[in-house]
Structure 1
Amino acid sequence: MRLFPALACTALLFSLATGAGAQPSLADVERGIVSVSAWGGTPANPAQAQPQTISYITLHHQGEPFPQGKDPVQYLRNLQTWSRTTKHWLDIPYHYIIDLDGKIYAGRDINYAGDTNTEYDPMGHALIEVVGNFEEVEPNQKQLDAVVDLMAMLAAKYKVPVDHIASHRDYSAQTVCPGKNLYRYVQEGYFRKKVAERLEGK
């Protein structure tokens, strides 16, 4: 995977801060998020945004195949362009995107409510997208670990209770998102349990 200089620098600093194989602190998780400017995106216009206060953490999937070797940076740039020009949304609908390697990228400013193609109101939700179509493939362990780390960081920062961790399909009858193979981890309580452990410092 080709990394732009800013992304390579972010990855190196994150590795040095956490140590090889070590579980990152929640502060390190936040510092390791690749910023919009680092992946070449542009900020949304705040005059067009709906400000929000985070009360929920909600998991989505991309819903399309994401093969090994696909460039996540180009994917994000394309997603931002499509969101604004085709959908006429403020920005990428999700606040965070997790790639195949478990790297976390910033999307829409979390202070602004997301968007959805379905009937649920995402106001107050921190939206996380994991790349891939999990109706067809399984999430890998790096992605699962990144979801836990990110959810725990968000829960701690915004005082979100673990029982407010759910997925798109829990709020909408119009979707199977985040796909049966990722939804299983929501349905069986895996993410809530792991996030609770992270918040307890385990």
Structure 2
Amino acid sequence: MKTSSLVAALFLALASSGCATRPASNDPVVVTVADWGGTPADPAQARRHTITHITLHHQGEPFTPGTDPRQYLRKLQAWSRNSKGWLDIPYHYIIDLEGRVYAGRDIAYAGDTNTEYDPSGHALIEVVGNFEEVEPNQAQLDAVVNVMAMLAQKYKVPVENIASHRDYSDKTVCPGAHLYHYVQGGYFKERVAQRLHSPR
């Protein structure tokens, strides 16, 4: 049976069992833009959108242990605005090596990408590191599941709409082969489905 069929079957079974959605108290703690030293985007320049998809990205560059994620985010915000001319950091949530979650662009505003796909409607999650070269660690994988489950619950996104950058563009390997393995194999869809329907 294909992964999509397995996920659909899991959803139906869990829904028919009457299990409740996971408690909001299990949502990840998110470091705010103010807490990492960023500045808010100008809403007059923003493209507002409605979340219908959850899309995974990677940094695409090495992120060595000991790197300050707050400094990385400040540099990313400055580069996004000054070099790319974007509204803000292109991603809505960023996950560091320890699995900590940081707020990026306001979720109400559509993200940006260097490729041809239109990210309107997509909640964008970036995991730091280059996963063409390294494996994601368990803390990062768990954080991805937590953020995806939070987004799926809040915006009523079906698990079938969980994917990655390379699923919408043939001009990128993002989120890297070692992280894409978990997308392609259904790991995130299955874990999010289980989380959404776990008993209180």
Q: Smaller-chain TM-score range?
A: 0.7 to 0.9
**1:54-75 deviation digits (Å, cap 9, x = unpaired):** 0000000000000000000000
Paired position in structure 2 for 1:15: none
Paired position in structure 1 for 2:7: none
Paired position in structure 2 for 1:9: none
Structure 1 segments, 4+ long, off by >6 Å, are none
2:120 to 118, 123, 145: 123
2:27 to 26, 29, 49: 29
2:99 to 78, 102, 110: 102
Paired position in structure 1 for 2:193: 196
| Runs of at least 5 residues in structure 2 that lack an aligned partner in the other structure | 1-21
AA in 2 matched with 1:87: K
Query: Cα offset for 1:201?
Result: 1.2
2:184 to 173, 179, 187: 187
Secondary structure, aligned partner of 1:137 = coil
Q: Is 1:71 aligned to residue 68 of structure 2?
A: yes
Q: Give the 3 Å change call, closer, same or farther, for CA 25–66 of structure 1 in structure 2.
A: farther
Secondary structure, aligned partner of 2:36 = coil
AA in 1 matched with 2:45: Q
AA in 2 matched with 1:114: G
**Larger RCO: Structure 1 or Structure 2 (Cα < 8 Å, ≥ 6 residues apart)?**
2
CA RMSD of aligned residues (A): 1.1
Matches of 1:44 and 1:179 in 2, distance apart?
Answer: 29
| Runs of at least 5 residues in structure 1 that lack an aligned partner in the other structure | 1-23
Paired position in structure 2 for 1:3: none
1:54 to 46, 51, 56: 51
Query: Cα offset for 1:135?
Result: 0.1
Percent of residue pairs bearing the same amino acid type: 71
Paired position in structure 1 for 2:108: 111
Query: Cα offset for 1:159?
Result: 0.1
Q: Is 1:137 aligned to residue 134 of structure 2?
A: yes
2:161 to 160, 164, 167: 164
What TM-score does the superposition give when structure 2 sets the normalisation length? 0.87
Paired position in structure 2 for 1:151: 148
Matches of 1:28 and 1:195 in 2, distance apart?
Answer: 12
AA in 2 matched with 1:84: R
What TM-score does the superposition give when structure 1 sets the normalisation length? 0.86
Matches of 1:129 and 1:91 in 2, distance apart?
Answer: 14
AA in 2 matched with 1:93: P
Matches of 1:41 and 1:25 in 2, distance apart?
Answer: 30
Note if contact 1:26-1:152 (Cα within 8 Å) is conserved in structure 2.
Answer: no
Secondary structure, aligned partner of 1:38 = helix
Query: Cα offset for 1:112?
Result: 0.1
